[in-house]
Structure 1
Amino acid sequence: MAEYDFDLIIIGSGAAGLTIASGAAQLGVKVLLIEKEKQMGGDCLHYGCVPSKTLIKCAKVRHQMTNADSYGLPTPNLDPVDFAKVAAHIQSVIDTIQPHDSPERFEGLGATVRFGTASFRDPHTISLEPPEGGTPEHISGKTIVIAAGSTPSKPPFKGLDQVDYLTNETVFSQKTLPKTLTVIGGGPIAVEMAQSFQRLGSQVTLLQRSAHILSKEDTDMAEVVETSLRKDGVTIVTNTSIKEISQHDDQISVTCGTKGDSSQTVTSEKLLVALGRAPAVEALNLKNTGVEYSKKGIPVDEKMRTNVPHIYAVGDITGKYQFTHAAGYEGGIVIANAVFKMPRKADYTLLPWVTYSDPELASIGYNEKRAQQADIKYTVHTESFAFNDRALAENQPEGKLKLLQDQKGRIIGVQIAGIHAGELINEWVAILGGKVSLSTLAGAIHPYPTVSEINKKVAGTILSKKVFSPFTRKVLRTLFKYRGRA
Structure 2
Amino acid sequence: MDRIKTDLLIIGGGSGGLSVAAGAVQMGASVVLLEDHKMGGDCLNYGCVPSKALIASGKAAHAMTHASQFGVGNVVPQVDYAAAKDHVADVIGQIEPVDSQERFESLGVRVIRERGRFVSETEVQAGDHIITARRVVIATGSSPLVPPIPGLADVPYLTNETLWALREQPRHLLVIGGGPIGMEMAQAHRRLGSDVTVIEGAKALGKDDPEMAAVVLDTLHDEGIHIAEHALAKEVRRAPDGIEVEVEGGAVFRGSHVLIAVGRKANTGDMGLDVAGIETTRTGIKVDAGLRTTNKRVYAIGDAAGGLQFTHVAGYHAGIVIRSALFGLPSKASTAHIPWATYTDPELSQVGLTEEQAKERHGLNTEVVRFHYTHNDRAIAERKTKGLIKVMVVRGRPVGVSIVGYQAGELINLWALVLANKLKMKHVAAMVSPYPTIGEVNKRAAGAYFTPRLFQSPTVKRVVGFVQRWLP
TM-score of the superposition, structure 2-length normalised? 0.95
Residue 132 of structure 1 is matched in structure 2 by none
Residue 223 of structure 2 is matched in structure 1 by 232
1:304 equivalenced with 2:254 (yes/no): no
Q: Secondary structure at the match of 1:236?
A: strand
Whether the 8 Å contact between 1:83 and 1:174 is mirrored in structure 2 is no
- Which of these residues, 242, 255, 258, is aligned with residue 251 of structure 1? 242
- Is the deviation greater in 370-379 or in 396-405? 370-379
Q: 1:71 and 1:299 mapped to 2: Cα distance?
A: 54
Q: 1:237 and 1:444 mapped to 2: Cα distance?
A: 43
* Aligned AA (1:201): G
CA separation of 1:458 and 1:372: change in aligned 2, threshold 3 A: closer
C-alpha displacement of 1:17? 0.3
Q: 1:188 and 1:374 mapped to 2: Cα distance?
A: 26
Residue 133 of structure 1 is matched in structure 2 by none
Residue 19 of structure 1 is matched in structure 2 by 19
- Which of these residues, 226, 229, 232, is aligned with residue 241 of structure 1? 232
The residue correspondences of 1:82-101 to structure 2 (distance < 5 A) are 82-101=80-99
Q: 1:416 and 1:144 mapped to 2: Cα distance?
A: 38
Whether the 8 Å contact between 1:162 and 1:246 is mirrored in structure 2 is yes
Q: 1:338 and 1:62 mapped to 2: Cα distance?
A: 48
Q: Secondary structure at the match of 2:279?
A: coil
Residue 111 of structure 1 is matched in structure 2 by 109
1:171 equivalenced with 2:163 (yes/no): yes
Whether the 8 Å contact between 2:291 and 2:305 is mirrored in structure 1 is no
1:267 equivalenced with 2:226 (yes/no): no
Whether the 8 Å contact between 2:175 and 2:199 is mirrored in structure 1 is yes
Equivalent residues, number: 466
* Aligned AA (2:420): G
- Which of these residues, 179, 184, 193, is aligned with residue 185 of structure 2? 193
1:476 equivalenced with 2:464 (yes/no): yes
Q: 2:421 and 2:125 mapped to 1: Cα distance?
A: 45
Residue 65 of structure 1 is matched in structure 2 by 64
C-alpha displacement of 1:6? 1.6
C-alpha displacement of 1:436? 3.4
Q: Deviations over 1:257-285 (max 9, x none)?
A: 2xxxx421001000001011100111212
Q: Secondary structure at the match of 1:22?
A: helix
* Aligned AA (2:64): M
Q: Secondary structure at the match of 1:189?
A: helix
- Which of these residues, 434, 444, 448, is aligned with residue 421 of structure 2? 434
Q: Secondary structure at the match of 2:119?
A: strand
C-alpha displacement of 1:295? 4.2
- Is the deviation greater in 272-281 or in 421-430? 421-430
CA separation of 1:403 and 1:68: change in aligned 2, threshold 3 A: same
Q: Secondary structure at the match of 1:346?
A: coil
Whether the 8 Å contact between 1:217 and 1:369 is mirrored in structure 2 is no
Q: 2:106 and 2:294 mapped to 1: Cα distance?
A: 33
C-alpha displacement of 1:368? 1.8
Q: 2:65 and 2:92 mapped to 1: Cα distance?
A: 27
Residue 29 of structure 2 is matched in structure 1 by 29
* Aligned AA (2:303): D
1:398 equivalenced with 2:398 (yes/no): no
Q: Secondary structure at the match of 1:177?
A: coil
* Aligned AA (1:286): L
Q: 1:353 and 1:181 mapped to 2: Cα distance?
A: 26
Whether the 8 Å contact between 2:370 and 2:389 is mirrored in structure 1 is yes
Residue 203 of structure 1 is matched in structure 2 by 195
Whether the 8 Å contact between 1:279 and 1:295 is mirrored in structure 2 is no
C-alpha displacement of 1:120? 1.3
C-alpha displacement of 1:320? 0.2
Residue 324 of structure 1 is matched in structure 2 by 311
- Which of these residues, 196, 209, 227, is aligned with residue 218 of structure 1? 209
- Is the deviation greater in 306-315 or in 169-178? 169-178
Q: 2:77 and 2:205 mapped to 1: Cα distance?
A: 32
CA RMSD of aligned residues (A): 1.6
Q: Deviations over 1:124-168 (max 9, x none)?
A: 221213xxxxxx432222221110111100112111111111000
Whether the 8 Å contact between 1:180 and 1:268 is mirrored in structure 2 is yes
Q: 1:475 and 1:97 mapped to 2: Cα distance?
A: 59
* Aligned AA (2:124): I
CA separation of 1:376 and 1:305: change in aligned 2, threshold 3 A: farther
Q: 2:125 and 2:427 mapped to 1: Cα distance?
A: 56
Q: 1:249 and 1:375 mapped to 2: Cα distance?
A: 56
- Which of these residues, 306, 330, 351, is aligned with residue 343 of structure 1? 330
C-alpha displacement of 1:250? 4.9
CA separation of 1:141 and 1:440: change in aligned 2, threshold 3 A: closer
* Aligned AA (2:448): T
Q: 2:18 and 2:288 mapped to 1: Cα distance?
A: 21
C-alpha displacement of 1:376? 4.5
- Which of these residues, 462, 480, 485, is aligned with residue 449 of structure 2? 462
CA separation of 1:410 and 1:194: change in aligned 2, threshold 3 A: same
Q: 2:76 and 2:401 mapped to 1: Cα distance?
A: 42
Query: Once superposed, which parts of structure 1, at least 4 consecutive aligned residues long, lie more than 4 Å away?
Result: none
Whether the 8 Å contact between 2:202 and 2:232 is mirrored in structure 1 is no
The residue correspondences of 1:347-366 to structure 2 (distance < 5 A) are 347-366=334-353
Q: Secondary structure at the match of 1:50?
A: helix
1:381 equivalenced with 2:381 (yes/no): no
Query: Identity of aligned pairs, percent?
Result: 41
C-alpha displacement of 1:32? 0.6
* Aligned AA (2:307): K
Residue 133 of structure 2 is matched in structure 1 by 141
TM-score of the superposition, structure 1-length normalised? 0.93
Residue 151 of structure 1 is matched in structure 2 by 143
Q: 1:221 and 1:110 mapped to 2: Cα distance?
A: 46
Residue 50 of structure 1 is matched in structure 2 by 49
Structure 2 residue ranges without an equivalent (≥5): none
Whether the 8 Å contact between 2:323 and 2:331 is mirrored in structure 1 is yes
Residue 313 of structure 1 is matched in structure 2 by 300
C-alpha displacement of 1:28? 1.8
Q: 2:452 and 2:234 mapped to 1: Cα distance?
A: 53
C-alpha displacement of 1:123? 1.6
